[in-house]
Chains A and B, each alone.
Chain A
Amino acid sequence: MSQDTQPLVSLPIIDNGGDGAMVDVEGPRAATSMRYRRAPLATPEEQFRVLNRVEISVGPTRTGSFEADLEAAGWPVLQPAQLDIFQINVGKLCNMTCRHCHVDSGPDRVDENMDRETVEACLRAIDLSGAKIVDLTGGAPELNPHFEYLVDACVQRGLHVMDRCNLTILTTRRYQHLPQWFAERGVEVICSLPHYRKLNTDAQRGKGTYEKSLEALRALNEAGYGKGDPRLQLTLVTNPVGAYLAGNQASLEAEWKAALARNHGVYFDKLLALNNMPMSRYLEWLEQKGQTAHYLSELVQAFNPGTIAGLMCRNTLSVSWDGYLYDCDFNQQLDMKMDLPAGLRPHVRDFDLTAWQQHIVRTERHCYGCTAGAGSGCGGAIA
């Protein structure tokens, strides 16, 4: 729980989709991006090397092979079920730089942002996919210049739209209209808040995050969110602020609700408790603490076969800013492109539902993060 005294910084000016508007966006920072620092661990190859060198003597096969443990649990191949969720990572740009970020997002990542052509290709693929839910993530997805266009296009199609929001972005001048804008469209807002108190929240996400997050939650409450209206769902997400597994989701939800209501008069609908994946900046932190082997062992030891059927890679498709297809956002950040049959290019322009249904999900050791304990996915606990 190291304290970082780095002050708030301004985001480099963003080109706002060709309309000439330029904005400065502030955001708390607990770290800097690995890519910005040119850290070796920024590459997937180095992350796999660090994970694969850990000797594992726990889990069903005591090998630390995710594939072997899947097979031992009765899943010789991991294949999709039904495509429910079309998840789009619209870009790596973020006004924050959280210590545990699996995307290695930050203000320096201005180039990796989805363009309008790829947005249109996503919309065509959504129409072909039959998915009823569109899940927008990033970075801070709101920073993509085509964000509002994409949301509107999905809402007009009658789809349920989820925005994975870092909260602090809603307190910046350029984006303060969003709570009301979301409410008018019935967008589900899924917000990161690791803890209901300041200490752990700021340790993970940067100084000042907690106060700004409360300000954003109040704005969402004022717009009608978090009060039990099924059209205006406000969901919070907590990741452990350290090297331990996510706690019991229902128990934590009751704690978070009581504490936020009592201390701040702030309300929300649902809490998702997710494990941290041993990758990217969280893996870097584990390495700095000498906790990689311990944490990975803990994940493998907690391997729960009951989570496999509900894994998100079985009902979700993940698209990157440049249109490539992945089994999940974690695989996306590890550059594990979807392995489609007959050599079909895993790209949103070539999307084919039958090929998706027939393909085999790619897995590596980081996947133990999703099968540990009660399981973990973008939709929260599984089992």
Chain B
Amino acid sequence: METYYKLDQLARFGEIAEGNKALADAFFSYYGKVFEDGALTAREKSLIALAVAHTIQCPYCIDAYTSDSLQKGADLEQMTEAVHVATAIRGGASLVHGIQMLDQVREKMM
């Protein structure tokens, strides 16, 4: 394998059924239902997916949910805010561990 990520792989996602069709069918059926309009709108769900995609830094997901967010009626300003939500949580997750550091420092230092 020359590279780990290939452009055509996202479009070929369905081929994952080759090894186990029942599980793939169950997954894609569940996946489709998750993103339907519900208590959250399809656009809101797509923006959450876009934020998660940036958190897990999945290039397939970023590609897919950039298009999907636009198609579901989001614009660049909304999408950028979603990415900042991911960024804030991710940064905050590091920073809040600083309290662990701080407590330990207080224990050990005069």
Contacts and interface: CB of A to CB of B under 8 A. Distances in A.
Contacts of B43: 251, 255
B71 A254 contact: no
Interface of A: 1, 195-197, 199-200, 240-242, 244-248, 250-252, 254-256
B100 to A, nearest CB: 41
Nearest to B43: A255
A255 B73 CA distance: 8
19 contacts: A195-B75, A197-B75, A199-B77, A200-B75, A242-B70, A244-B70, A244-B71, A245-B71, A246-B71, A247-B42, A247-B72, A247-B73, A248-B72, A251-B42, A251-B43, A251-B72, A251-B73, A252-B73, A255-B73
A195 B75 CA distance: 8
A14 B11 CA distance: 52
A241 B77 CA distance: 14
Interface residues of B, number: 13
B77 A195 contact: no
B81 interface: no
Interface in B51-110: 67, 70-73, 75-78
Contacts of B77: 197, 199
Contacts, number: 44
A199 B67 contact: no
Contacts of A252: 72-73
A254 B73 CA distance: 11
Contacts of A242: 70
A95 B42 CA distance: 35
Nearest to A298: B67
Given A197-B75, A197-B77, A251 B41 contact: yes
A199 B76 contact: yes
A240 B76 CA distance: 13
Contact of B73 (A1, A245, A256): A256
B37 interface: yes
Contacts of A199: 75-77
Contacts of B72: 247-248, 251-252, 255
Given A251-B72, A251-B73, A255-B72, 6 more contacts: A197-B78, A199-B75, A244-B71, A247-B71, A248-B72, A251-B42
Contacts of A254: 37, 41
Nearest to A271: B73
A196 B73 CA distance: 9
A227 to B, nearest CB: 23
